[in-house]
Amino acid sequence: MKPVVERFLRYVAVATDADPQSAKVPSSSGQLFLAKMLAEEMKSMGLSDVEVSDHGYVMGSLPAAAEKYPVIGLIAHLDTSDAVSGKNVRPRIVENYDGKDILLNPQEKIFLSTKDFPEILDHVGEDIIVTDGTTLLGADDKAGIASILTALEYLIDHPDIPHGTVRVAFTPDEEVGHGAALLDLERFGADFAYTIDAGPIGELCYENFNAASATIEIKGRSVHPGRAKGKMINAILIAQDFLAALPPKEIPACTEGYEGFFHVCSNVGTVENATIELIVRDHDSEHFEGRKALLQKIVAELNSRWGEGAVSLTMRDEYRNMAEVLQHSMHIVERAYKAMELAGVTPRVKPVRGGTDGARLSFRGLPTPNVFAGGHNCHGRFEFLPVQSLEKSMEVVVGILTGTTV
């Protein structure tokens, strides 16, 4: 088994589900456990300046092997999504995939279907790492961690290959919007960086959504239903009116590419009270502001119908499109593009339909596009990772750092 695969399988054994309800950083103890485990591994490899902060940030350095090279940062995140459990992950490798549906779990009759997930057919003849259908896999982003450390190990084993100083950071709670907020950029000391994070082979991203979260609180009035005429105000039905006012086709299941959306994350309530949680996403800043204005308009209309204060809206901007920054540093993107070509990978420049630590880091002054780690179907039980994509991710990282190929 190649080192990058062995590393990945070892990392997914550690449960690092982020906890969106926690106010702590890291939000789960497993992240800190993995952080300390990685720090020991980095020290044993020979990396210098290895440290773990109280908040679970891991940093280390590979000293320069040549002069006049930039200091490049490599970043991946420790946590996995809480959408599906990452505890007790049982990965297996389907060798020489034959193009048929993959039976993940005989007892539960769970299949990775080519009809539902046709992208797997792009990997016929390759080796595919899958779950047992009861958990996510964790390629987002333990594949990125494995790719980075294996690339650095390769450079340590080949000291004749010139490269500059490499700074590494593994960060917590990306999946709950923390955005590497506590990464000390001055201490990190990189000229620019790359997140190595999820995504099919060839993906290179320097654009992402503008993002906001929204909470709708609805106050109703409960009255005995037999005597309710003209008196009852049903918060559940007002919630339905709110949802019906949203554009029906502007949801994740109906959009792609640069198309934005509203995503209803939860809708719970009683006659007296109802709460809707949703997120707002758009790559275009004007369209993004328009989406937020639409929510305000719907709330105003509902209040005019049901009485002022019946419906309240709280919105919070989460992150912005890093293209605003990276369009002025396109040489960084071009460096990754050339590294892919050197590795025999066809670059696919596309927008991230989500967030990335690189977005916040870019706006904090560290330009940070994203490079693929090879994963598919992240955040779910049908997640899979082609071994050959993971290996190519590692080769691309080497190319970014050195301008050569493995």
The single residue of 79, 82, 197, 203 carrying the catalytic annotation is 79
The single residue of 41, 140, 153, 174 carrying the catalytic annotation is 174
Query: Dihedral sign, CA of 84, 349, 253, 131?
Result: negative
Q: Which residues contact 1 (CB under 8 A, 6 or more apart)?
A: 9
SS3 of 24-58: the string is CCCCCHHHHHHHHHHHHHHHHHCCEEEEECCCCCE
**Is 79 among the catalytic positions?**
yes
Q: Which residues contact 393 (CB under 8 A, 6 or more apart)?
A: 143, 144, 147, 196, 201, 371, 372, 373, 374
Q: Which helix (H) or strand (E) holds 356?
A: none
Closest CA to 94 of 48, 63, 57, 131: 131
- Relative to beta strand 311-319, strand 210-219 is antiparallel
Q: Give the integer Cα–Cα distance in Å for 167 and 72.
A: 6
Q: Which helix (H) or strand (E) holds 166?
A: strand 166-171
In the DSSP assignment, the letter for residue 114 is T
- Relative to beta strand 58-62, strand 384-386 is unpaired
Phi, psi of 11 (to 5 degrees): -70, -40
Residues annotated catalytic, as ranges: 79, 174
